[in-house]
A and B are shown apart, each in its own frame.
Chain A
Amino acid sequence: MNRFGLPDLGLGVGLRVPHFSRVLEGPTRVDWFEVISENFMATEGRPMRVLEQVRRDYPVVLHGVSMSIGSTDPLDMDYLAALRRLADRIDVAWMGDHVCWTGVAGRNGHDLYPVPYTEESLAHVVERIKVVQGVLGRPLVLENPSTYLGFASDCMSEVEWIARMADESDCALLLDVNNVYVTCRNHGLDPMQYLRDVPWDRVVQNHLAGHTDHGTHCIDTHDDHVCDAVWELYGWVQKHTGGIATLLEWDGNIPDFDVLEDEVARCREWR
């Protein structure tokens, strides 16, 4: 059990528009759903109606992509207020975002850009997490990113930086096993060593996803089945921790819902 007392929700998938009707028909072979926060923050229409119906039957977790916790721009307080309203309305199990920044100087790139792993960025992000957690009234659950480059100014490893960030801000973590694999492949690191250095008492959720292997590097594309190497890492995590809520991500070339259910069934074999 994590130090936040957040439950192991079992195995979930992301709620995506092509599956709205199928999920509402029910029943499904998944335990819970994760939604992209931003897709539901500015709607009172069909997406919100579906989300409220889904919430009656399943736990729901919010997972955002636009908080930009690493940016040097001021925190967007309107965004945070809207996020809080959504979380309260849906009564979410927890909510999170990514260790990244998405824009600066008033411009948004809508991507998860890498944070340099420096003392300066660490202090900056820790302070922002404290503010965010105050606004949201709950622990923020931050996910390790997939990264495709490192900075000359990096003075510690990603996992060390994230562990210190979590400790100093008292936030929770989402450990994306596929991201660990992708990042370690891209930077020539040992994913098992990465996993051994994770502060597991702060991890409340895992992500699994497929990626694209270009030989020289991997891209976190979420458009395919989970690869064998990632399953092996996931198996270690589940055995090491005794079980963590797990979410299967599939955002490109989205297949029929029963394909996702089958992939979720594979997760059960590793738990």
Chain B
Amino acid sequence: MSGVAVSPLDRLERFFLRVVTHPTGVDEGVRAATAEGLLPHGARRLEDVIPGNDRLSALEQLHIYGFAYFDRIVEVLAGEMPAVQHLLGERVFAEAMKRYLAEHPSSTWTLDRVGAAAPQWLAEQGEEDGTLWRVAADVAAVQQAMDAVWNEPFEDPVPYARLAAVPMEEWAGARVQLIPAVRLLALSYPVTEVMNAARDQGEVVLPAAAPSWMCVYRDDTARWRFALDRPQFVLLSALARGNSLADALAEVLELADVQPAQLLGDLGGWFERWFGNGLVSAVHITPEGAPPPAP
């Protein structure tokens, strides 16, 4: 917490929040807040601030708020990252998220941002073999992407015919505009099977580390994910940045293991699938080398 309390009300609120959000519980919170000089003016002990009653002591009353603080936010994080909870198990997940919350307390009005740093934080856990935690980090990143696309605005998708109708001579300069409700993820583990197992409440087998790529998107009513290979990821990412088809394909061809003939053979099928999924909201035809159209 920042600043210095300036009024009795301010001091009381700072004392209260310090106590009920203390990571090891309100008992330690009272000791910490007292040692830090947060006890309201004129008070020498907790009961001078919160008298309690004949059924519950002041500490027991504070426990209600202390329990609710962690319980509520861990519940929110579990709702945001259910596959991470399944992977780690309820108890480990709850303990981990309490530690996370102690290091990343919320400073905004929305609970949607409380878990923003969780993927990075999870990746840093686990001292010797951190595989479980690094997989959890990737799963968390996918689930946060699924939350993000849920809240993106709608744009009507266009059919593959729109791209197919582009004249050959203008094809290289065409730009394919993705809908806002799409995220492209580069991961350290192939987590599709982990997420499927979590969705089906099945047993999780930890995958070996391997660079992996995924597309997450939302259509009219539901969220979806599918794995990409590296050329697909590079191509879609380049298109998402507003590059022309020619420039995007040039990026793909810079990859060591991509052969031009193979790429050209695959391309039609890729685009057919992506358009079919509703990932594309416009095809802009501009001269090659011209800047992309304003959004």
> Which residues of A are in contact with B by a Cβ distance under 8 Å?
21, 38, 41-47, 49, 66, 68, 71-72, 76, 79, 101-111, 113, 116, 118, 120-121, 124, 148-153, 187-188, 216-217, 219
Residue of B10, B106, B221 near A110 (CB, 8 A) is: B106
Question: Is B12 in the interface zone, CB < 8 Å from A?
Answer: yes
How far apart sit A49 and B155, CA to CA, in the bound complex (Å)? Answer: 12
- In the bound complex, do residue A107 and residue B106 qualify as a contact, i.e. CB atoms below 8 Å apart? yes
> Which residues of B are in contact with A by a Cβ distance under 8 Å?
1-3, 6-10, 12-14, 16-17, 20-21, 40, 43, 47-56, 58, 61-62, 64-65, 68-69, 72-73, 76, 105-112, 114, 149-154, 181, 218, 221
Q: Assess A116 versus B109: contact at CB under 8 Å? Given A107-B21, A187-B53, A219-B64.
A: no
**How distant is A47 from chain B, measured CB to nearest CB, in Å?**
7
Q: Assess A152 versus B72: contact at CB under 8 Å? Given A45-B150, A108-B107.
A: no
Residues on A with C-beta less than 8 A from B108 are: 108
- In the bound complex, do residue A76 and residue B109 qualify as a contact, i.e. CB atoms below 8 Å apart? yes
Residues on A with C-beta less than 8 A from B51 are: 150, 152
- In the bound complex, do residue A149 and residue B154 qualify as a contact, i.e. CB atoms below 8 Å apart? no
How far apart sit A71 and B56, CA to CA, in the bound complex (Å)? Answer: 26
Instruction: Please list 21 pairs of residues, one from A and one from B, whose beta carbons are closer than 8 Å in the complex, sorted by A's number.
Output: A42-B110, A45-B181, A46-B151, A71-B13, A72-B6, A104-B10, A105-B13, A106-B2, A107-B17, A107-B107, A109-B17, A111-B68, A113-B17, A116-B9, A118-B9, A120-B7, A149-B62, A151-B12, A151-B49, A152-B48, A152-B49
**How distant is A240 from chain B, measured CB to nearest CB, in Å?**
29
- In the bound complex, do residue B153 and residue A45 qualify as a contact, i.e. CB atoms below 8 Å apart? yes
Q: Assess A149 versus B52: contact at CB under 8 Å? Given A45-B218, A104-B17, A116-B12.
A: yes
- In the bound complex, do residue A46 and residue B2 qualify as a contact, i.e. CB atoms below 8 Å apart? no
- In the bound complex, do residue A72 and residue B7 qualify as a contact, i.e. CB atoms below 8 Å apart? yes
How far apart sit A111 and B106, CA to CA, in the bound complex (Å)? Answer: 12
Residue of A68, A107, A113, A151 near B50 (CB, 8 A) is: A151
Nearest chain B residue, comparing its CB with the CB of A217: B56
- In the bound complex, do residue B109 and residue A104 qualify as a contact, i.e. CB atoms below 8 Å apart? no
Which of A41, A109, A118, A219: most chain B CB closer than 10 A? A109
**How distant is B85 from chain A, measured CB to nearest CB, in Å?**
17
Nearest chain B residue, comparing its CB with the CB of A113: B16
20 other contacts beyond A149-B58, A151-B49, A152-B50, with CB at 8 A cut-off?
A43-B150, A45-B153, A45-B218, A46-B218, A66-B109, A68-B109, A72-B9, A104-B17, A107-B1, A109-B106, A111-B68, A111-B69, A120-B9, A148-B61, A149-B52, A150-B51, A152-B51, A188-B53, A188-B54, A216-B56
Residues on B with C-beta less than 8 A from A124 are: 9
Residue of B8, B64, B109, B221 near A108 (CB, 8 A) is: B109
- In the bound complex, do residue B55 and residue A106 qualify as a contact, i.e. CB atoms below 8 Å apart? no
Q: Assess A47 versus B151: contact at CB under 8 Å? Given A105-B2, A148-B61.
A: yes
Residues on B with C-beta less than 8 A from A118 are: 8-9
Residues on A with C-beta less than 8 A from B53 are: 150, 187-188
Nearest chain A residue, comparing its CB with the CB of B111: A110
Residues on A with C-beta less than 8 A from B69 are: 109-111
Shortest Cβ-Cβ A-B pairs, 7 listed: A44-B153, A105-B1, A149-B61, A66-B109, A72-B10, A43-B151, A104-B13
Nearest chain B residue, comparing its CB with the CB of A67: B109
